[in-house]
Chains A and B, each alone.
Chain A
Amino acid sequence: MEGVLLPFRGNILKYEVTDVCDLLQAMCKGELIVKKVCRDWPKEAFGSGLVDECYYDEFEKNATTAAAKVFKVKDFAEGEVKLQEILKNLAAGKYDDKVLPTKEILAVGGEERPELKAIYDNLGKDYTVFTDKFDIAKHKASAEVGISVAEFCIAESGSIVVDNKSYEARVTSMLPYTNIVFVPAKYAVKDMSVACEIIGKVFKDGYCGFVTGPSRTADIERVLSLGVHGPNYLFIIAVEDMK
């Protein structure tokens, strides 16, 4: 099977295909397969009764304890306003009295979600926004902000579950000093056991995991210090009607 696929690979680099059937199916449906652990988490992984918005408040509380800054918004329109506000605040030194440049932004998830693509397009008017994977790779060292998407939230730990099979998603969420993540507010689970049960249903290959607050260390005198390798800030925009 791999042999058959190889010629295709060069042309469809943006997407990953695991076997010919997948590819044919996708082509028949007129869609291409996004490079993720799971193409449709709600449909293929969540099952019934495990995911419920009633767990959201606990998630928000624990995420905040883990030093994430969490904002709940109704829809993507409100989310966009919030995003713009965060970017302005960063530049204006509203967080920890530090003026943080926001010139270059890496942004992923637009291919899957037209609402996000629209937001990224709008951002492009005021900022330099990279959404192409090669552009992201080229600018990974200099970009100051990364915007990406998470699949669901965990109440017990305040974690977001990220499906980062693609290189660009990982780079976007790890290298810039500020990490902004959109997550569906209604997709929350009680604890890590449920989260792993869900992941177990679809995790056949790739890269996924939990993100809980920004990058931190306590290696010097056990003093909590943020941003040692990854982001110094994690902003979570939880969108109520996001699917």
Chain B
Amino acid sequence: MAERNIKEEIKAKLKDDVMQGALSKFAEQYPGSRLKSYEGQDIDALRNSFRDMKIDAVNHIEELADKFQASVEKRGGVFYRAKDGDEVKRILVEICRENNVHKVVKSKSMASEEIHMNECFTNNGIEVKETDLGEWMIAIAGHKPSHMVMPAIHLNRYQCAEMFTQELKEEVPGENIPYMIQKARETLREKFLAADMGVTGANFGIAENGAIGLVTNEGNARLVTTLPRIHVVLIGYEKLIPTVADAAKVLRLLPRNGTCQRMTSYMTMVDGPTPVIYEKNGEWVEEDRKQYVILMDNGRLEAAKDPIFKQVYQCVRCASCLNVCPIWTKVGGHVYGHIYSGGIGAVLTGLLNNGLDDFAKFSDLCIGCRTCVTVCPGKMPIPDIIDELRSRYIQKNGAPSMDGIFQSVMSDRSMMHTLLLKAASLTSAPFTNGKFIRHLPLFFANMTKGRSLPAIAPTPARDRMEALYRNNPKNPRYKVAYFSGCNMDFIFSDSSVNVVKVLQDAECSVVYPMEQSCCGKPILGVGDRETGRKIAKKNIEAFEKYDVDYIISACPTCTETLHETYKKLFANDPEWSRRAEAFCKKVREFSSFVAEQYKRMGRLTPTSGGEKVTYHDSCHIKRGLGISEEPRALLKAAKGVELVEMHNCDKCCGMAGSFGMKYQEVSIPMLEEKVKNIKDTGATTAVVACPACMMQIGGGLDKAETGIQTKHIADILAERIK
């Protein structure tokens, strides 16, 4: 296969108006419809009970598999375990030979897609028909499914009609959906009736009785398991559950998250060989259908042994992670280039099929916004698993070449600022408009398409800190150390000064350890933990020199890295693990810390009226750190400020670290959406608590010449200190 150019593929998808229309409409409707389907339910309790059941299942996976096998065999089913796709295909061909099978119908099964099952039939002259309407249509056109649940979501009715026309050899009008449905019914009904063998996947397999569960709306799985005289089940290890009662834990979440229904039309459980009546040699007979169950490994058992990867068993294949993914809903499923798309697609591609190399091709399409984690039935931390996969990939293949320079720049601050300033003086000086760079010449031009870039501060924050120490309170309530991070140091130097000012006003004395470095997220984000550890050690050492109560950061991404990731980096190093633990415990995010202090000082009382501001929740502060009320409380209490909420206030602005630079073409439409939502509020200022969002949103508002300002929450608070 020729080397893929994912950026070109993305560009083409962004120009596909049909798909763009469908996806944006769907992305807008999905969250509300999903919630409606849960009306009256304690969603979190349902999710926990499902997750716990699945965690228990993966911890006993071999036991569960043995039990499932024994149950199936006891009922007369023939059981196979297949190591990989090739073995599955060998088994299938054998079954067909043994039973003289010529025609196969199947109901949608992601496992069969995963191993390209169909080719084993067609290569052996056996007709195989997909019966799920969406899959059937796209198979005619030779497309791949773009979504696990809605395979043809990228098409409109006219494109669907073309596929009907091609398959049925008659003109099918696109206006008439009911006619197409009727035609599909007639055509596929013939296939059902003529088939010798039916192949299904399974939404779950029950160990205690050997039953499999199939959840469909069309009912094709019911026909596939009823009409042909042979039934083959292809099921992955991750679908095994202990008992029939446990099935409810799947069923109460899967349809609601998948299709926003309380229940799909058909939920069918097939347990062992069931009766079938058919014409055999001219005579009608009733027999027990032959049932074959193939339990497929293909990477699943290895994943089950890994403390991080085993969480993939918590996936119920509802695809809700795609439905809320800000990237997937822009680019669709095809650019992921594999059967499974979106965040979960990256994970499954990496873990199954020996697909780590395939994974690496699109793994950076996950921006770590964690929106998927908020809806996942199994509470699977998809971005963390992707992170782990990236790290494994780097371990195996080495860090990407660009990172040599990056690494030395990262761990040497003065070098970084010098370089940045050099680049900036070369490029930005003639093009700066106030605080923003609107146009960059030549090869930088792409970076300022759709957004202005902030100018590099003439003096980095670090060089302005010492002068501020004289304002430290005489009798501080707390001693805090400020961790600026790159953006707050080199770009939003003024905001850093404001951070210190606010902290001092909140009765804290502030110190800025000069040896601090980048938090390491950019390098950890691409999976290079070795360099990450070096940076972490440097930072921990820098802060250990000061005896402070708290370490404050006004960048949520840095905060998350310092507070969460550092601990994990030294899991196998007791000495550094202890030092990291002590460091992590002290780390606090700026706005929530200040809110706490203001509350203590009786300064968190809401005031009313004033300039309209709107607040954007950065991904890392809201879903990474779980902070959303505190910055709002600060804004409501700020004099002369009125907080108005924007639509989708917590949807990613499109910056997401280096993503915003690397994937301009995706990042800019996300930004434009954010800019529109901000404009619609009528606010004069957009407030953020994250410098990366500040760069993106500030750039977007400037480029669009909205006249709306962007401020860090520290700026708003500092302006109100006398």
Contact = CB atoms under 8 A, between A and B. Distances in A.
Interface of A: 13, 16, 35, 37, 62, 66, 133-134, 136-138, 141, 154, 156-159, 165-168, 170-171, 174-175, 191-193, 195-197, 199-200, 203-223, 225-231
Interface in B130-178: 131-134, 137, 150-153, 155-157, 160, 177-178
Interface stretch (B220-228, B422-430, B441-449): B220-228
A157 B181 contact: no
A205 B271 contact: yes
B271 A225 contact: no
B269 A203 contact: yes
A171 B270 CA distance: 15
Contacts of A230: 218-219, 222-223, 265-266
A174 B131 CA distance: 15
Contact of B263 (A157, A199, A222): A157
Question: Which 4 pairs between the two chains have the least Cβ-Cβ distance?
Answer: A230-B219, A200-B244, A219-B134, A157-B263
A207 B270 contact: yes
B145 to A, nearest CB: 11
Nearest to A168: B277
Contact of A220 (B26, B160, B219): B160
B265 A216 contact: yes
B271 A16 contact: no
Interface string B247-266: 11101100000010111111
25 contacts: A13-B286, A35-B275, A37-B271, A66-B263, A136-B277, A156-B263, A174-B222, A175-B223, A193-B249, A196-B247, A196-B251, A210-B251, A210-B267, A211-B265, A217-B133, A218-B150, A220-B155, A221-B156, A222-B22, A222-B150, A223-B177, A227-B181, A228-B185, A229-B220, A230-B266
A217 B157 CA distance: 14
Nearest to B164: A220
A96 to B, nearest CB: 9
A141 B189 contact: yes
Contact of B266 (A138, A205, A210): A210
B227 to A, nearest CB: 8
B184 interface: yes
Nearest to B29: A222
A138 B284 contact: yes
B266 A193 contact: no
B699 to A, nearest CB: 35
A214 B217 CA distance: 8
A228 to B, nearest CB: 5
A203 to B, nearest CB: 5
A35 B288 CA distance: 12
B185 A170 contact: no
Dominant secondary structure at the B interface: mixed
Given A174-B222, A174-B223, A206 B272 contact: yes
A193 to B, nearest CB: 4
A174 to B, nearest CB: 5
A159 B215 CA distance: 13
Looking at B180, B210, B211, B286, the one whose CB has the most chain A CB atoms below 10 A away is: B286
B276 A216 contact: no
B407 interface: no
A221 B209 CA distance: 39
Given A199-B269, A221-B22, 12 more contacts: A134-B277, A165-B275, A192-B251, A196-B246, A200-B245, A203-B269, A217-B217, A219-B134, A227-B185, A228-B184, A229-B131, A230-B266
A138 B278 CA distance: 8
A165 B156 CA distance: 39
Interface of B: 22, 26, 75, 131-134, 137, 150-153, 155-157, 160, 177-178, 180-182, 184-185, 188-189, 192-193, 208-211, 213, 217-220, 222-223, 225-227, 243-249, 251-252, 259, 261-272, 274-278, 284, 286
Contact of A167 (B152, B180, B217, B274): B274
A217 B180 contact: no
Given A167-B277, A204-B271, A229-B218, A219 B245 contact: no
B715 to A, nearest CB: 44
A66 to B, nearest CB: 7
B354 to A, nearest CB: 32
Contacts of B274: 165, 167, 205-207
Contacts of B193: 141
A221 B157 contact: yes
Most chain B CB within a 10 A radius of its CB, from A192, A193, A215, A221: A221
Contact of B157 (A196, A208, A220): A220
B70 to A, nearest CB: 14
A203 B277 contact: no
Contacts of B160: 220-221
B265 A215 contact: yes
B267 A159 contact: yes
Contacts of A192: 248, 251-252, 263
B637 to A, nearest CB: 43
Q: Which of A37, A66, A159, A209 has the most CB of B within 10 A?
A: A209
A195 B219 contact: no
B226 A171 contact: yes
Contacts of A213: 265
A205 B150 contact: no
A171 B40 CA distance: 36
Given A199-B244, A217-B133, A220-B160, A225 B178 contact: yes
Contacts of B131: 229
Contact of A222 (B26, B133, B181, B217): B26
B245 A193 contact: yes
B404 to A, nearest CB: 48
Contacts of B155: 220-221
A197 B245 contact: yes
Contacts of B209: 203-205
Nearest to A67: B265
Contacts of A154: 263
A230 B268 CA distance: 13
A203 B218 contact: no
Nearest to A161: B267
